[in-house]
Amino acid sequence: MCLAIPGKIVELRGNVAVVDYGGVRREARVDFIPDAKVGDYVIVHTGFAIEKMDEESALKSLEAWAEVLEGEQ
Amino acid sequence: MKPGALSEKILGGIFREAEKIGKEVKFMDVCGTHEDTINRGGIRSLLPDNVKVFAGPGCPVCITPVEDIVRMMEIAKQKDMVITTFGDMYRIPTPAGSFADFKAQGYDVRVVYSIFDSYKLALKTDRLVVHFSPGFETTTAPAAGMLAEAEREKIENFKIYSVHRLTPPAVEFLLKAGTKFDGLITPGHVSAIIGVRGWESLTSQYRVPQVISGFEPLDMLASIYMLLKMLNEGRVEIENEYTRVVRYEGNESAQAAINEFFEVRDAKWRALGTIPESGLFLKKEYEHLEIRNEVDAEVPDMPDLERGCRCGEVLRGLILPDKCPLFGRVCTPRTPVGPCMVSYEGTCNIFYKYSGLR
Ligand code: SF4
């Protein structure tokens, strides 16, 4: 099952990170996030971070949608 | 802007575009989590009458061949080992019982959340630990990552039984077999691994419009809107709604790990048959990591499904579960008849879970 919520890396030891999901903390491997650092938001799938999530761009894309739809009404 | 206001706006856009289209259109999702979001958000009931969403083969556990599950158990009868697998795989029925039944007979089967947990278990014991490893690209990458570590650290008591499968060949297979849809709601996290480019040939060869979608109800609505708009504008393209995670090239480090360990071959999908170039098998140089190369077992041919179970049609996107006469009566998550009712990613299970919302 895909977890939609990004978690925040709060600790990092080699390829093993501790990821915080708004208070709940879980271990996750970051083998595939070569430049992972504490503070990054990641999407975790079955215990592995598969990609970083860019929070700012998330908000921007939603705003962009709002504008597109605004213009069409 | 509040999410509520935004979803109203997107819905407004969907209704406008749907009216413009003026005929029935059918979209398909191929991801259990998308299907979950669609049900959780009650999205089908919100859509205009001429916009239908169907679910395809989005459940890796559902399509894992019965023969492989049974062979894993036969192998464990021949050699002492701990089998690990995911919670839903553990309960999938076969004519020879499930892993849960196998455990009840005294064999050591443990449920894990991640292949990392199996690996950690192997570090703590001298016994052989074999991870029965199903899943699409998103789960194959973690398997490859763990195998890489086992190789680096020379851990010899950790192996897998690979039943990994690729998603684009399954969609291609459905198209060839005649399942008709006007657009694909493309799985976001598979795409995080294989990138936008991993889906391009489907659009160019089969002229299927696609939108790569995230997992919030708002993402699903936006994707449906984008598909309708593409149809109205006569464009056949692949668009990315989930830009906050998915990049054009995907996660190249995950792709490299998968390519290092696995090669692509034809493979069987439960209730669908053999799909060309759709299975991931360990390469020759890593065959010591695959348990089947150490111990093998003959398994007789078995029926994929119990009589009356329409899981095959559900997985092909031909029917929704409520068309199955067994749904909710004979077949429930507590008394599942077919794999689609067991897995959290199975369409029947998801429909049952949210049936109160309809
Ligand atoms: S409801 Fe049960 S019997 Fe019917 S298709 Fe789904 S899994 Fe099979």
pLDDT tens track for B285-328: 999 999 999 998 999 989 999 999 999 999 999 999 999 999 99
Enumerate helices (H) and strands (E) in chain B, giving the number of each.
15, 11
Ligand 1 center to B276 CA (angstroms): 26
- Contact residues, chain B, for A73 at CB < 8 Å: 12
Least-confidence region, from A49-63, B27-41, B45-59, B225-239: A49-63
Contact B290, B282 (CB under 8 A): yes
Q: Which atom of ligand 1 is nearest to the CA of B305?
A: 8
pLDDT band at B2 (very low <50, low <70, confident <90, very high): low
Q: Hey, is the C-beta of B234 within 8 angstroms of any chain A C-beta? A: no
- For residue A72, pLDDT beyond 90: no
Q: Is B145's CB within 8 Å of A29's CB?
A: yes
Contact B358, B320 (CB under 8 A): no
pLDDT tens track for B63-108: 999 999 999 999 999 999 999 999 999 999 999 999 999 999 999 9
> Which region, left, alpha or beta, applies to residue B135 given φ > 0 means left and ψ of -120 to 50 means alpha?
left
What is the structure's pLDDT at B209? 98
Predicted TM-score (pTM) of this structure: 0.92
Rounded to whole angstroms, what are the CA distances from B194 to A46, B80, B227, B254, B300?
A: 17, 37, 21, 9, 35
Instruction: Give one DSSP letter per residue of A24-66, joined into a string.
Output: EEEEEE-TT-TT--TT-EEEEETTEEEEE--HHHHHHHHHHHH
> What is the distance between the alpha carbons of residues B306 and B293, in angstroms, rounded to a whole number?
31
Fold for domain A7-71?
SH3 type barrels. (2.30.30)
> In the structure, which protein residues have their CB atom closer than 6 angstroms to any atom of ligand 1?
B 309-311, 314, 321, 324, 326-327, 331, 337-338, 340-341, 348
What is the structure's pLDDT at A61? 58
Q: Taking the alpha carbons of B239, B244, B249, B255 in that order, is the dihedral positive or negative?
A: negative
Question: CB count, 10 Å around CB of B16?
Answer: 17
What is the β-pairing status of strands A7-13 and A24-29?
unpaired
Q: Residue B280 belongs to what H/E stretch?
A: strand B273-282
Q: Is B222's CB within 8 Å of A73's CB?
A: no
Q: Which domains does chain B have, with CATH numbers?
A: 3-60+168-240 (3.40.50.11750), 66-165+250-293 (3.40.50.11740)
Mutate to test the interface with B, among A44, A50, A70 (most CBs of B within 10 A): A50
Tokens of B140: 């194959």
Cα B271–Cα A1–Cα B168 angle in degrees, nearest 5: 55
pLDDT band at A53 (very low <50, low <70, confident <90, very high): confident
Q: Hey, is the C-beta of B188 within 8 angstroms of any chain A C-beta? A: yes
- Contact residues, chain B, for A19 at CB < 8 Å: none
- Contact residues, chain B, for A27 at CB < 8 Å: 116
What is the structure's pLDDT at B195? 98
Nearest to B107 by CA among B73, B137, B61: B73
Q: Hey, is the C-beta of A43 within 8 angstroms of any chain B C-beta? A: yes
